[in-house]
């Protein structure tokens, strides 16, 4: 992760809101592939250490973390995440571009 912030979408199997949210993310990334570097998806079963460390128990969960992996923001629930996900990714991109252009 090279940007200041990164979005992480945590999902689990057999979860309709998770599948719907992942499908929306795929649509967003198909339409705007430049947002890809600002988001990762993690399946609960494959990342148990992170699930425990971040104390996740509801899915889907969208987190924004900084370069050190520290949580800066958390949103839970498919409907809410689907509503705000594109804007969150655009915000992370804008912060990254501002930081890149203005670094001394």
pLDDT tens across the length of the chain (104 residues): 578 999 999 999 999 999 999 999 999 999 999 999 999 999 999 999 999 999 999 999 999 999 999 999 999 999 999 999 999 999 999 998 876 555 44
The confidence score (pLDDT) of residue 104 equals: 47
Kindly state the DSSP code that residue 13 receives in the 8-state scheme: S
The total number of structural domains in the chain stands at 1
Read off φ and ψ for residue 43, nearest 5 degrees: -90, 130
Cite the beta strand spans of 29-91 per DSSP E.
39-43, 61-66, 71-76
> Which tokens is 26 given?
């795929």
**For residue 26, is it within any domain?**
yes
In a domain, 71, yes or no: yes
Q: Is residue 49 part of a domain?
A: yes
**Cα separation of 72 and 62, whole Å?**
11
Sign of CA dihedral 84, 85, 86, 92: positive
Q: What is the pLDDT of residue 94?
A: 92
Give the SS3 label for residue 83.
Answer: helix
Predicted pLDDT of residue 100: 54
pTM above 0.85, yes or no: yes
Enumerate helices (H) and strands (E) in the chain, giving the number of each: 3, 4
Q: Residue 33: inside a domain, yes or no?
A: yes
* Domain CATH for 54: 3.40.30.10
Domain that holds residue 51: 5-99
- Own/partner pairs, 28-33, CB within 8 angstroms, 24+ separation: 28/85, 28/86, 28/89, 32/86, 32/89
Domain membership of residue 9 (yes or no) is yes
- Note whether residue 104 is domain-resident: no
């Amino acid at each position: 992760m090279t940007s200041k912030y990164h979005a992480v979408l945590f999902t689990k199997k057999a979860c309709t809101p998770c599948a719907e949210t992942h499908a929306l993310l795929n649509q967003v990334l198909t339409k705007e592939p430049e947002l890809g570097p600002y988001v990762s998806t993690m399946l609960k079963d494959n990342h148990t250490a992170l699930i425990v460390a971040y104390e996740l128990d509801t899915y889907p969960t969208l987190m924004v973390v900084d370069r050190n992996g520290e949580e800066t923001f958390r949103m839970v629930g498919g409907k809410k995440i689907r509503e705000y996900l594109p804007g969150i990714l655009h915000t992370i991109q804008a912060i990254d571009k501002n930081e890149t252009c203005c670094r001394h």
